[in-house]
Structure 1
Amino acid sequence: MSETPTVLWSRPETGRPGTPLLVIFHGYGADEEDLFSLAGQLPPEFTVASVRAPLQAGPGYAWFPLRNDLSYSVTAVTEAATAVERWLDSVREGHTSVTLLGFSQGMCMATSLLRHRPADYAAVVGLSGFVVDAEGDPFFDDDAVAALKPEIFWGRDQADPVIPQTAVEATNTWMHGHASLTKVLYTGIWHGINAQEIGHVGEFLQYKVLNAAQAAK
């Protein structure tokens, strides 16, 4: 990924300072426009930044090769996360907090960033995705995550045909050991998102990020 990824912003640069930042990571084969419409359905206080992944994948982009691809490695995940982190470090100072939202493979990115520097983020929203197997890579500071117990929303359909059951089970175990978890199951969304789920995400962001920030003042 180049130092400055392609990013869609919900506000012009002059309107961003002093706002909480919500960074969106799309799924495999999609792009930064795929989830950008969600911005209008979430609390308006947030500045939303939807980031394009670095690798070409079909009609869109990918954060790293799929697990069944011979070119997959944990290093590919950490390199992608490190590049995003460098960009985030260049913009985060203007914002009151940073929250991450990822769909499918984008959830791997959001949770990997959290697992590297958990104190940097107000909360994480993961939709129809999973957390990667760290395979002992020191990039993932899961002890620090467990100590902080960050707020995570995890929404999915038990009938999701895309995410392997082994990945779901491993994610469930990780979440219960490391996060303050809000877990919601949906019927009929398969590997997707519906209005009910976005409503719940909006409530989570309101209570766990915006209200929590007000209470901390």
Structure 2
Amino acid sequence: MIHNPNNIRTAGKPLEEASKVMVMVHGRGGSASDILSLSQYIDDTDFAFIAPEAQGNTWYPYSFLRPMDENEPYLSSALEVLTSLRARLQSDFNFKLPQIYWLGFSQGACLLLEFLARNPAGYGGIFGLSGGLIGPPDTPRLYEGSFDKTLVFLGCGVPDTHVPKERVLESEQVFQRMGADVTLKLYPNFPHTINEDELNIVNLLLAGPK
């Protein structure tokens, strides 16, 4: 195991007391504490936040657009961290899948979206910021299962130095085809970072219909 599934940080409500949990996945060169700092911008106070941390602060060594085997065995280990984390949230803390939310940025968003496409269900919500599904442009997207109207938000600057617009659009189509309710927003001439509008949209989706 390259990545340690027990190397996690938490914020917000204690897991034992929270009615919902948000898994936050950091980007390349980031850390669990970096991504957890976003929790202060989430208006909903019922959340526990949990973030795994990659070995060496990177989930896999090369671009997410490279052939998947080039990023092995790191990629499989990273996906296994999320599998393990989801299982623990369900078994140890009794969270149901609709109480589990996911947020990732950059490499963390790519890892998150790929994991969820392979493990679809009716989750609370999915927020992929500056990321897309993993693999080269001709990757067959033969995922099976349904997101059962899970709210998904994809946000990205265009052009983004790391994430081609085409990959964000392809990810939108894949998630829609799998039954997710996808909101996509592209930000012209915006750098590879998280912006205030994206956090506002996350909060709006968390608040639900007025």
| TM-score normalised by length of structure 2 | 0.79
Change (3 A) 1:155 1:86: same
Q: What letter corresponds to residue 132 of structure 2 in structure 1?
A: F
Matched, 1:91 2:89: yes
| 2:62 pairs with 1:66 | yes
What are structure 1's unaligned runs of at least 5 residues?
Answer: 212-217
| 1:83 CA drift (Å) | 2.3
* Structure 1 position 44 matched with structure 2 position 45: yes
1:122-133 aligned within 5 A: 122-133=124-135
SS in 2 for 1:153: strand
Which position in structure 2 is the counterpart of 1:11? 13
Q: Paired residue for 1:200?
A: 201
Q: CA 1:37–1:18 in 2, change beyond 3 Å: closer, same or farther?
A: closer
CA distance in 1, matches of 2:190, 2:45: 25
Query: What secondary structure does 1:133 align onto?
Result: coil
| Distance in 1 of aligned mates of 2:167 and 2:195 | 22
Match of 1:214 in 2: none
Deviation at 1:145, TM superposition (A): 3.3
Q: For 1:106, which of 105, 108, 129 is the aligned residue?
A: 108
Give the structure 1 partner of residue 164 of structure 2.
164
Q: Are the equivalent residues in 1 in contact too, given 2:151–2:205 (CA < 8 A)?
A: no
Question: Structure 1 counterpart of 2:70, which letter?
Answer: Y
Matches of 1:12 and 1:46, distance apart in 2:
9
Q: 1:5·1:87 contact (CA, 8 Å) conserved in 2? A: no
Question: What are the Cα deviations for residues 17-46 of structure 1, in whole angstroms up to 9, with x where unaligned?
Answer: 342000100111111122222111112111
Q: Equivalent residue of 1:157, what SS?
A: strand
* Corresponding position of 1:215: none
Gaps of 5+ in 2: none
Structure 1 distance, partners of 2:154, 2:68, is: 29
Q: Alpha-carbon deviation of 1:4?
A: 1.0
Q: Could you tell me how far apart the structure 1 residues matched to 2:188 and 2:164 are?
A: 17
Task: Report the alpha carbon displacement of residue 152 of structure 1 after superposing the two structures with TM.
Answer: 1.0
More helix, by proportion: 1
